[in-house]
């Protein structure tokens, strides 16, 4: 059978190995496979599976920094969309993630406090906040001044044409890359990569290259 890997997020551009996943996963997965009548073996290299024998193609939006054999890479560019309404210069959209699960509580407390202070200090007239649909974001939406929570549960790429914000702000979010590729007119900023790469990804800064290659502005926390 022909096997393919589809790059759906940052993991395909990071040096993600077994050290980056909780140990309980490696105990549960063989059991799940057995119950489904499947065979299972632990990944030997990158967790995306891009280097595994039998994989013929790796589909991704960019080959820059992609963790995959170059001969397997197939580029699928993101389509650009036209905004439905004019953007509001004084409006920012803050995109939250569950990165706190990869940090110690102490590190995430520092990160959260500094991020909130930085966003509030930018002085936007209106701040919209979109929480991650699956992971706890640490209550950041409740700490931001004048924040309006976006209750729409769609993916941001599905909302791209409808966004009225002129600026999108976040940290370690694939959505930042996607939105910048689909809406080049938006100012897109990632905050704190110097901190979250160190405390959540064992110092692996591969994410920065992906963000910058898409045109996302990276702002260091300098904590």
> pLDDT for 145-168, tens place per residue?
889 999 998 888 899 999 999 999
Name, in order, each residue with C-beta under 8 angstroms of 155's C-beta and a sequence gap of 6 or more: 175
For the entire predicted model, the pTM comes to: 0.79
The confidence score (pLDDT) of residue 181 equals 92
Q: Which of 32-36, 40-44, 108-112, 131-135 has the lowest mean pLDDT?
A: 40-44
pLDDT at 109 over 90: yes
User: Average pLDDT of 6-16?
Assistant: 81
User: Average pLDDT of 96-116?
Assistant: 96
Long-range contacts of 80-84 (CB under 8 A, 24+ apart): 80/181, 80/182, 80/183, 80/184, 81/160, 81/161, 81/182, 81/183, 82/161, 83/161, 83/162, 83/163, 83/183, 83/185, 84/161, 84/162
The confidence score (pLDDT) of residue 206 equals 85
> pLDDT for 37-83, tens place per residue?
988 887 778 888 899 888 999 999 888 888 999 999 999 888 899 99
- Integer angstrom CA distances of residue 74 from 26, 52, 58, 66, 68: 30, 16, 6, 11, 11
pLDDT at 191 over 90: yes
């Amino acid at each position: 059978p022909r096997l393919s890997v589809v790059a759906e997020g940052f993991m395909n551009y990071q040096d993600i190995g077994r050290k980056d996943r909780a140990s309980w996963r490696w105990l549960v997965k063989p059991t799940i496979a057995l119950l489904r009548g499947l065979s299972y073996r632990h990944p030997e290299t990158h967790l995306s599976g891009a280097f595994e024998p039998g994989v013929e193609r790796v589909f991704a939006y960019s080959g820059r920094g992609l963790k995959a054999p170059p001969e397997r890479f197939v580029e699928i560019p993101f389509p650009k969309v036209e905004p439905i309404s004019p953007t509001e210069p004084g409006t920012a959209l803050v995109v939250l993630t569950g990165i706190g699960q990869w940090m110690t509580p102490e590190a995430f407390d520092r990160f959260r406090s500094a991020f909130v202070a930085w966003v509030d200090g930018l002085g936007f007239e209106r701040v919209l906040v979109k929480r991650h649909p699956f992971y706890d974001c640490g209550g950041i939406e409740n700490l931001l001044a004048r924040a309006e929570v976006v209750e729409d549960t769609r993916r941001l790429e599905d909302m791209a044409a409808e966004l009225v914000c002129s600026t999108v702000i976040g940290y370690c979010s694939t959505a930042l890359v996607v939105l910048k590729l689909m809406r080049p007119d938006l100012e897109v900023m990632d905050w704190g990569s110097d901190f979250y790469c160190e405390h959540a990804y064992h110092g692996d800064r591969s994410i920065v290259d992906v963000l910058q290659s898409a045109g996302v502005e990276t702002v260091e926390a300098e904590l």
